[in-house]
A = this chain, B = another copy of it.
Amino acid sequence: MSVLIVGSTALDSIKTPNAENPRLLGGSASHAAVAASFFSPVKLLGVVGEDFPRRYIQLYERLGIDLEGLQILPGKTFHWSGEYELNMNHRRTLLTELGVFETFNPTLPKQHQDTPFVLLANIAPSLQYHVLEQMRRPRFVVADTMDLWLNIALPDLLKLIKRVDGFVLNDSEAHQLTKEDNVFAAIKKIHKLGPKYIVIKKGSHGSILSSPAGYFLCPAYPLGKVVDPTGAGDSFAGAMMGYLATANGPVDDHIRRAMIYGSVVAAFCCEGFGLLRTARLKRPLIEQRVKELEAFTGF
């Protein structure tokens, strides 16, 4: 089965203590779509400007990503610029130019409306909701978010997560949303807001699933060096949804393994700037690290 992914499609200018890379392919939907493409057919829904480099379109195409839902509009592509500190957990935004994103109205091509798996990657929750309303009985819908929307669009976000199956967020965002310092106490409160499946991302500390089948404590793949963590969370969610879409049977039977694939692709993402490492991935490399994670966690 296939996955529909909506989110931002952007140009990212990223600075770390060691290097600087301007105008890389970025955005939540780009990272998620590339990650999902190693597992299942992907339909991308997004918007870019006329300045969007042809080679990025070719990259999507090479990975077999369906671009019928990618609008190319007069104007500039969304451009984000950020800088990481030595401790990669801290970054600051230097610049945000919304460009064509400012008036983005995600309209689903008719043949996309029956896609069974839907990932509402990080964009304004009102846009995520607008996409969800155009879907016809999707099988499994997951929404991601970021602190910005908790700050400026909380009512929209609360309206959205009432209607999704799964909700993916960082531990710091879970604390912000619930005012609970303890992550498991926070999870309990978030379930009351709607989602049956909650995934808390904790960066290098892994992630936690709370589902009707109980908790799953998902490890992060051990990395001795992080080059650029931008998009790791989007890659995680994309790979998870891509894997789920190809697994037969109930979501509960496969979501744990899907998160393991998410962890592995997220780790690859961190090993290069932007999508440089992820885009060159091959499935056997992913499988190798999944096996390693099995070896690192059995007892």
Contact = CB atoms under 8 A, between A and B. Distances in A.
Interface stretch (A26-34, A136-144, A218-226, A275-283): A218-226
B257 A299 contact: yes
Interface string A212-253: 001111110011111000000000000000000000000000
Given A217-B297, A219-B217, A297-B216, A185 B260 contact: no
A184 B216 contact: no
B182 A256 contact: no
Nearest to A220: B217
Interface of A: 86-88, 181-185, 188, 202, 204-206, 208, 214-219, 222-226, 256-257, 259-260, 293-299
A181 to B, nearest CB: 6
Contacts of A216: 296-297, 299
A185 B256 contact: no
A206 B294 CA distance: 17
A258 to B, nearest CB: 9
A182 B224 contact: yes
A188 B219 CA distance: 20
B215 A256 contact: no
A223 B88 CA distance: 28
Contacts of A214: 295-296
Nearest to A89: B181
A226 B180 CA distance: 12
B296 A215 contact: yes
A87 B224 contact: no
A179 to B, nearest CB: 11
A225 B223 CA distance: 30
Contacts of A208: 222
B182 A217 contact: no
A5 B4 CA distance: 58
A203 to B, nearest CB: 10
Contacts of A299: 216, 218, 256-257, 259-260, 294
A188 B224 CA distance: 9
